[in-house]
Structure 1
Amino acid sequence: MAGSILWSLVLALHILCIAYWVGGGAFLTLTLRNSITLLEPAARLNVQLQTYSRYCRGLRHIVPVTLLTGWALVFHVGGFAMVPWPINAMQLLGLVMTAVYLSVELGPLRAARRAIRPQPALFNTIRNRIVIMLALGALTILCAAMGTI
């Protein structure tokens, strides 16, 4: 009984991390860009820089926890050979999402933080990569739904 509660908590933590990762990407993609059009250009760039930075700062913790809890759940049921193919697809998509996140964090976001006046093109690059991450996240959620039935 206590073991099942522990694994339920691990699963809940995994789902909460995915909710932040994918939900934050959806917010940035669908809401932020439209909302900041009312601001002056300098304020717009500052808001984008602060918002993207805080989202990625959260992902620094979320991404490793997501991967570790996912692997723990897989190894709990016997390893990757024992789980259905959608779970293995989730693993692959999660690693690709991690690579996209790292490309945002170590590429255009780092350049935007270091720039005295970050160019709007940097934020377009960040947004495009977050759109890719969001699409991969939606596909991962679809795989999760297929793997539980």
Structure 2
Amino acid sequence: MLLVHLLLLVLHLLAAAFWVGGMATMHFCVRPAAVQLLEPPLRLPLLAGVLARFFRGVTVAIVVLLVTGFAMIMGMGGMAAVGWPVHAMLGIGVVMMLIFGRIRLGLYPRLASAVAARQWPDAGAAMSGIRQLVFVNLLLGVAVFLVVLLARVL
């Protein structure tokens, strides 16, 4: 049973690291370099393509996080048996998933449509909205990591 829990935990952590690390890479590295080096007709299709790939990975990561998270919770006796850190992680995670849903199902289709139509101001506006929500999700992801650390020291 310990081996199963360890495997679930490793998969859970890898999925969280992919999502949060990917957001940090996009926000602090890829997008700023693209802005610096490329004009909108080149930059926005590149970013839309990168986001399409990243969002597929995030979707898989979310499924892995939910399956492994709830499996570990059930293995520990259910929600009533786990402490505040698990409740906090789950609550923050649900908010992050809702924000991702807004990005993936709302703003990203606007970006992709505007890029396909070569409507650079509209694409830029959609990208700006995505960037802002990704930053919020990045802060929430860091908060989850802080909850884990606090749970270890308290």
TM bucket (normalised to shorter chain) is over 0.9
Percent of residue pairs bearing the same amino acid type? 33
Could you tell me which residue of structure 2 aligns to residue 64 of structure 1? 63
Could you tell me which residue of structure 1 aligns to residue 17 of structure 2? 19
- In the TM superposition, residue 117 of structure 1 has moved relative to its aligned partner by 2.1
- Of 121, 126, 138, the match for 1:122: 126
Matches of residues 12-51 of structure 1 in structure 2 within 5 Å?
A: 12-36=10-34, 37-51=36-50
Return the alpha-carbon distance in structure 1 between the equivalents of residues 79 and 73 of structure 2: 6
- In the TM superposition, residue 20 of structure 1 has moved relative to its aligned partner by 0.5
Return the alpha-carbon distance in structure 1 between the equivalents of residues 37 and 112 of structure 2: 23
Q: TM-score, normalised by structure 2?
A: 0.91
| SS of residue matched to 1:107 | helix
Instruction: Give the count of matched residue pairs.
Output: 147
- In the TM superposition, residue 75 of structure 1 has moved relative to its aligned partner by 1.2
Q: Once superposed, which parts of structure 1, at least 4 consecutive aligned residues long, lie more than 4 Å away?
A: none
Q: TM-score, normalised by structure 1?
A: 0.93
Return the alpha-carbon distance in structure 1 between the equivalents of residues 145 and 95 of structure 2: 14
Gaps of 5+ in 2: none
- CA deviation string 1:15-72 (max 9, x = no partner): 0000001000101111122211211221111111111111111112111111111111
Return the alpha-carbon distance in structure 2 between the equivalents of residues 83 and 135 of structure 1: 24
Return the alpha-carbon distance in structure 2 between the equivalents of residues 113 and 39 of structure 1: 18
Gaps of 5+ in 1: none
RMSD: 1.2
Higher helix share: 2
Say yes or no: does 1:143 pair with 2:154: no
**Contact 1:90-1:143 at 8 Å conserved across structures:** yes
**Contact 1:14-1:65 at 8 Å conserved across structures:** yes
